Amino acid sequence: MDDQAAGTPKSSLQPKPVNDSASEMVEYVLPNDANALGTLLGGRLLHWIDLAGALAAHRHAHSPVVTASVDHMDFLAPAHVGDLVVLQSAVNRVFHTSMEVGVKVLVENAITGERRPLSSAYLTFVAIDRQGRKQQVAPVVPQTAAEKRRFEDAGRRREIRQAEKAHKRKRTDEAPATEKI
């Protein structure tokens, strides 16, 4: 069976620079996106972050992707109704079938154009084929100093995620069936 039939085109496994899949999306904060104080709902921002991350992961893998994890997030500033939310995403590192994607979020005043940091997150996506099976992803090639730093940091974050996952699995396996987790 050739690589095409297996769902992994040969061309997709060629190393790719980070900027090939780097993406930016902009969302306008509308009343439906806000709480009673007129500020952006955290859940809506998480949704947009997931979409922005998936956009970069999909562009890199040229296949569907699913979200495997979202790392710790902090909300640094509010976004109000009428503001723009700018989400910049890029693949930091590839680990065979999974990718870490960084998403930087800025809030922009739609009138003045002033931007300030709103949040950031690291997400892990897994590439899948048409049958829903994990699929190998082409390596990413960091070129700038910042991309190289994010590449190295992604390796450390992956080790932490794997240790946390093992710890959670152990706790879940040891918990009696009647105990709430």
Q: What is the pLDDT of residues 161-176, one digit of tens each?
A: 999 888 888 877 776 6
- Is 100:154 a contact under the CB 8 Å cutoff? yes
Chain segment 33-64, per-residue pLDDT in tens: 999 999 999 999 999 999 999 999 999 999 99
Pick the CATH number of 10-174 from 3.30.465.10, 2.60.120.700, 3.10.129.10, 3.30.450.20: 3.10.129.10
Query: What percentage of residues in the chain have a pLDDT greater than 90?
Result: 79
Paired tokens of 56 = 């970069």
Q: What is the C-alpha separation between 129 and 131, in angstroms, rounded?
A: 5
Q: What are the extents of the domains in the chain? A: 10-174
Q: Are the CB atoms for 122 and 114 separated by under 8 Å? A: no
Of residues 116 and 165, the one with the higher pLDDT is 116
One-letter amino acid of 23: S
Secondary structure of residue 39 in the 3-state scheme = strand
In contact, 122 and 92? CB cutoff 8 Å: yes
Q: How far does the chain reach from its first CA to its final CA, in angstroms?
A: 45
pLDDT confidence of residue 179: 64
The alpha carbons of the chain give a radius of gyration, in whole angstroms, of 18
Indicate the range of 102-106, 114-118, 155-159 predicted with least confidence. 155-159
- Give the ranges where the chain is alpha helix by DSSP (H): 42-61, 145-174
Round to whole Å and give the CA distance between 20 and 109: 28
- Residue 88: strand, helix, or coil: strand
Chain-centroid distance of CA 46 in Å reads: 10
Reported residue count of the chain is 181
